[in-house]
Chains A and B, each alone.
Chain A
């Protein structure tokens, strides 16, 4: 599927009035949106509006309430590991590779019994991971760690990939490599992705969700991103910047 095409299939993920708190902070205050199948849904918003918490709430990594449906089944009371085993991959912000484990151990840990393991795809996309398989993941560069984090997500057959700021803090060349990987990933899985880089969002998005103060304020198709001034205002970016 290419960016900008119309999305007409049943949603893979549906959130309705999802609330979440971390400590005493009420972060999500009624988040509702749908993620269409075989599409990339990009979640945007200023820092601190609850984008990362939304992904973590879907997975049950924070206490949440409201309705979360994945492939038509309610999952808001399901434990994290069970949600993942139903076919969800999570690529977190800041990579979260296991630094003391080797690259191969990180990948082996991601293997799920009920799923075929796509080592061919992973090593095709990230050949460096094969040559560095015995290296401690903590000694990899930021870009390599991002590749490993994405590789863990791509290793299994997933109906949904939740990807949190995959280009954050990466050099422009590496951002390009990550985008190529994501373009490959969209061919095999529905994606919900938090992304602050407008250029990357425009390249990948089929569906757009904009958040503000713990709620979804705009939801629609990719052409929402074409209104540059409006998007920059919503994202708290300076007008006439580099599109990032």
Chain B
């Protein structure tokens, strides 16, 4: 029972990190029809931002607020990098094929990782965390690391905030409508490109938060930290349904849990194989994913 609980919380927290990355990717693809590879690199940049802040803080006088500050700054940095990407690299390409936009995000992800490697080297840097984050909480006979609660709580908070933005604001309504039928949004006189900026920036912010929390979870940063998450975020995206935030949440939980339990009970690496197989089965049986809609042809 104690291992089940521990695996459950670990699976949920890993799933929460996948969700943070996939939520942005899902909205970006749903509205802009762009599969962004850059969001994994945003995660890396923001993991470094969090590491720099926590490292600069030192080990004295830790209260926990420095972790909150690191998360906030990582979120802002993620949003800023994504905003600049959309403004400078993607916007000039909107009249061209979506493949061009995908290639730009892929190229950018290589550049970002290379820059991180060039500045801080290829090696891992241990991250210094407040003591209480590294401690555990006893629950049902299991000792659950406290960082699991932080990650899960942050993902729930982001899900609620995104839902509020999508359901309570005009920009959010435009995004939801654009995911359904972008041409019809334009045909109502709405410049949907403004929403592209919003969605890409929000996605970058979520990836930025995932960077700080991912660094906390792994206790270290290295240039390709985003690569560890982006593949599974894409799996979550496909299983949940492109463009569906709720789908991303459910799929992230499923993928996170399946991965952890399979790795523990079947063998190391089995979880990765099974989640990839899950994606393949989903593509064959229900290509639109759990919550996605069938693509309009005309």
Residues of A in contact with B (beta carbons under 8 Å apart): 59, 61, 79-82, 84-85, 90, 92, 96, 98-101, 105, 108-110, 112, 152, 156
Q: Quick one: which of B173, B180, B183 contacts A99, CB cutoff 8 A?
A: B180
On whether the beta carbons of B187 and A61 are closer than 8 Å, the reply is yes
B161 within 8 A of A: no
Known: A81-B189, A98-B176, A101-B176. A108 touches B170 (CB 8 A): yes
CA distance A92 to B176 in the complex (A): 19
On whether the beta carbons of B180 and A80 are closer than 8 Å, the reply is no
List residues 167-220 of chain B with CB under 8 A from any CB of chain A: 170, 173-174, 176-177, 180-181, 183-192
On whether the beta carbons of A109 and B180 are closer than 8 Å, the reply is no
Within the complex, the shortest CB–CB distance from A57 to chain B, in Å, comes to 13
Known: A98-B180, A98-B181. A109 touches B186 (CB 8 A): no
Residues of B in contact with A (beta carbons under 8 Å apart): 170, 173-174, 176-177, 180-181, 183-192
Known: A98-B181, A100-B180. A109 touches B174 (CB 8 A): yes
Q: Quick one: which of B177, B183, B186 contacts A101, CB cutoff 8 A?
A: B177
Number of contacts between A and B (CB, 8 Å)? 55
Known: A81-B192, A98-B180. A105 touches B173 (CB 8 A): yes
Enumerate chain B residues within 8 angstroms of A59, measured Cβ to Cβ.
187
16 A–B contacts, CB within 8 A, in A order = A61-B187, A79-B186, A80-B186, A81-B190, A82-B191, A90-B188, A98-B176, A98-B184, A101-B173, A101-B180, A108-B173, A109-B170, A109-B174, A109-B188, A112-B189, A152-B188
Enumerate chain A residues within 8 angstroms of B180, measured Cβ to Cβ.
98-101
On whether the beta carbons of B188 and A110 are closer than 8 Å, the reply is yes
Enumerate chain B residues within 8 angstroms of A105, measured Cβ to Cβ.
173, 177
| In the complex, residue of chain B having the shortest beta-carbon distance to the beta carbon of A138 | B180
User: Knowing that A80-B186, A109-B173 are A-B contacts, what are 8 other residue pairs whose CB atoms are under 8 Å apart, sorted by A's residue number?
Assistant: A61-B183, A90-B188, A92-B187, A99-B180, A101-B173, A109-B174, A109-B185, A112-B189
Known: A96-B181, A108-B170. A90 touches B187 (CB 8 A): yes
Within the complex, the shortest CB–CB distance from B188 to chain A, in Å, comes to 5
CA distance A98 to B186 in the complex (A): 13
CA distance A82 to B184 in the complex (A): 13
Q: Quick one: which of B177, B184, B189, B192 contacts A85, CB cutoff 8 A?
A: B189
Enumerate chain B residues within 8 angstroms of A90, measured Cβ to Cβ.
187-188
Closest 10 CB pairs of A and B: A84-B189, A80-B186, A90-B187, A98-B177, A85-B189, A96-B184, A81-B191, A81-B186, A110-B188, A98-B180
